[in-house]
């Protein structure tokens, strides 16, 4: 085994036994047998983890050394917003949270649920998969210690922000954040997961979120990555949807050195629908790899994936999406749209939309384009009296803004826009048009 696998095996030996140990042991056994993914694996062909495999890792600390810095992250909510917030440090929640329960939502520690009612958690941990996009999820299942279980029981009137703080004692730390969100029939909520870093060392983060939407449930979910240039983050998001449920999901990458996001959605019952929006910003030498796999497993299901990627300097951005329509999933509808914008001759964008259809009477479409700014649009704006720098800045901003327009949390959208503008050329010019 390489050094990384040996260190993960050593972490496993230190874990205390609990009611989840049989499933954890299976997950660890499979992970060690399969090994770290390589560029020979289908969904990892654009991301090389060779340098990571040569490192050894130990558990990140459970607490920060000092207070959470107020400027450790961009604030996604105004002080006047009615919202609730939760804090997780390296995957360990701060309990009690928000004075108990949020109206319409029950909040529990995963460690406590595993102790008192392990069968509840087992419903979300099984079945285990050997698929290459699930490799890091297996490791998270084996080694996570704590996390949050959110049970949405009715309409939640305010958004909930989960602030994930990554902080390390050294460069060899690793964290395993785990979130489980269950929306009961007819319930609805907005949940924002915000990943930031604090301190001189940022641990490798291997995070997993599982979302289960029951009949007629609705969820608006955000995951916002805003860590520093030295951070490596491997995140997996699982979504299971029942009849007539609707999920609106936003993946926003504004920070990090290497960020790999995976979304795997299963539309299991008729009427289930998913709207996925991805905003992927490559800056300096950042590497962003976004993989989306959506499976239509029932008739009359719908999915719509919209991705906007921008790459400047020597960064690389990948959007790799696939839609699978199972046999019998008639009248399924799906769209995949990815547009990439290159701002530097040394930047790279790779897009790969795919369709795998096993049923008749379906409506599926995909499209992908990558290039530089449209010269005709630039000429049009110049002809209206704008200078070239202003015209280029406005075109870049407009290219990305359509991903953000569907956000219902206005202050979060504005904060993300501000952080986005700061990474674009002529940011001062763009601020004048806000």
Average pLDDT over the chain reads: 90
What is the pLDDT averaged over residues 373-384? 79
Give the chain's end-to-end CA distance (angstroms, integer): 53
- Is 91 within 8 Å of 176 (Cβ atoms)? yes
Range with the lowest mean pLDDT among 40-49, 91-100, 200-209, 305-314?
A: 91-100
Confidence at residue 432, expressed as pLDDT on a 0 to 100 scale: 66
Give the residue with greater pLDDT, 387 vs 13: 13
Question: Which three-class secondary structure state does DSSP give residue 192?
Answer: strand
Confidence at residue 84, expressed as pLDDT on a 0 to 100 scale: 83
Q: How confident is the model at residue 388 (pLDDT cuts 50, 70, 90)?
A: confident
Range with the lowest mean pLDDT among 93-102, 138-147, 201-210, 220-229?
A: 93-102
pLDDT in tens, 199-230: 889 999 999 999 999 999 999 999 999 999 99
Quote the tokens at residue 91: 């995957």
Confidence at residue 71, expressed as pLDDT on a 0 to 100 scale: 47
- Asked whether residue 51 carries a pLDDT value surpassing 90, the answer given is yes
Q: How far apart are CA 187 and CA 290, in angstroms?
A: 29
Range with the lowest mean pLDDT among 78-87, 113-122, 149-158, 321-330?
A: 78-87
Q: How far apart are CA 434 and CA 431, in angstroms?
A: 5
Quote the tokens at residue 357: 């259809």
pLDDT in tens, 260-274: 999 999 999 999 999
Q: How confident is the model at residue 135 (pLDDT cuts 50, 70, 90)?
A: very high
Q: Cα 327–332–337 angle (5° rounding)?
A: 120
DSSP notation for 207-251: EEEEEEE-TT-EEEEEEEE---TT-EEEEEEEEEE-TT-EEEEEE
Q: How confident is the model at residue 95 (pLDDT cuts 50, 70, 90)?
A: low
Provide the pairing of β-strand 58-59 with 173-175: parallel
pLDDT in tens, 240-259: 999 999 999 999 999 999 99
Q: How far apart are CA 289 and CA 42, in angstroms?
A: 13
Confidence at residue 63, expressed as pLDDT on a 0 to 100 scale: 84
- Asked whether residue 99 carries a pLDDT value surpassing 50, the answer given is no
Q: Match 């929640």 to its residue by tokens.
A: 93
Range with the lowest mean pLDDT among 114-118, 284-288, 336-340, 428-432?
A: 428-432
Cβ within 8 Å of residue 44, ≥6 positions away: 37, 38, 132
Confidence at residue 36, expressed as pLDDT on a 0 to 100 scale: 96
What is the pLDDT averaged over residues 348-367? 94
Which of these, 148, 139, 152, 158, lies nearest to 186 by C-alpha position? 152
Q: How confident is the model at residue 100 (pLDDT cuts 50, 70, 90)?
A: very low
pLDDT in tens, 278-298: 999 998 999 999 999 999 999
Q: How confident is the model at residue 382 (pLDDT cuts 50, 70, 90)?
A: confident
pLDDT in tens, 297-340: 999 999 999 999 999 899 999 999 999 999 999 999 999 999 99
Confidence at residue 188, expressed as pLDDT on a 0 to 100 scale: 98
């Amino acid at each position: 085994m390489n050094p990384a696998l040996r260190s993960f095996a050593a972490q496993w030996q230190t874990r205390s036994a609990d009611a989840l140990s049989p499933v954890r042991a299976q997950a660890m056994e499979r992970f060690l047998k399969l090994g770290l993914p390589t560029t020979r694996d289908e969904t990892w062909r654009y991301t090389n983890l060779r340098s990571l495999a040569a490192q050894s890792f130990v558990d990140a600390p459970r607490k920060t050394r000092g207070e959470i810095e107020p400027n450790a992250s961009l604030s996604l909510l105004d002080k006047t917003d009615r919202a609730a917030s939760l804090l997780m440090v390296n995957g360990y929640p701060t309990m009690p949270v928000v004075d108990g329960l949020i109206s319409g939502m029950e909040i529990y520690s995963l460690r406590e649920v595993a102790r008192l009612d392990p069968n509840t958690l087992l419903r979300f941990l099984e079945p285990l998969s050997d698929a290459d996009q699930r490799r890091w999820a297996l490791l998270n299942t084996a080694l996570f210690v704590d996390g949050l279980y959110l049970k949405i029981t009715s309409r939640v009137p305010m958004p909930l922000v989960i602030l994930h703080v990554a902080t390390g004692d050294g460069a060899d730390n690793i964290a395993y954040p785990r979130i489980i969100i269950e929306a009961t029939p007819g319930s609805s909520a907005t949940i924002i997961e915000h990943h930031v870093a604090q301190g001189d060392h940022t641990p490798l983060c291997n995070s997993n979120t599982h979302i289960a939407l029951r009949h007629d449930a609705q969820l608006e979910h955000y995951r916002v990555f805003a860590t520093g240039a030295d951070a490596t983050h491997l995140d997996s998001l699982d979504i299971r949807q029942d009849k007539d449920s609707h999920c609106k999901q936003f993946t926003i990458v504004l920070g990090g050195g290497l960020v790999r996001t995976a979304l795997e959605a299963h539309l299991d019952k008729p009427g289930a629908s998913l709207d996925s929006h991805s905003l992927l910003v490559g800056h300096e030498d950042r590497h962003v790899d976004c993989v989306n796999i959506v499976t239509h497993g029932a008739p009359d299901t719908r999915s719509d994936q919209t991705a906007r990627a921008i790459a400047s300097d020597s960064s690389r951005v990948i959007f790799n999406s696939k839609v699978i329509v199972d046999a019998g999933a008639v009248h399924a509808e799906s769209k995949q749209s990815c547009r990439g914008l290159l701002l530097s001759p040394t930047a790279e964008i790779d897009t790969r939309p795919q369709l795998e259809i096993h049923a008749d009477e379906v409506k599926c479409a995909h499209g992908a384009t990558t290039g530089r700014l449209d010269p005709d649009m630039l000429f049009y704006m110049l002809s209206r009296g704008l200078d070239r720098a202003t015209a280029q800045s406005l075109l870049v901003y407009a290219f990305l803004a359509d991903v953000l327009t569907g956000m219902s949390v206005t202050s979060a959208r504005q904060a993300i826009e501000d952080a986005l503008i700061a990474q674009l050329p002529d940011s001062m010019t763009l601020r004048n048009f806000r």
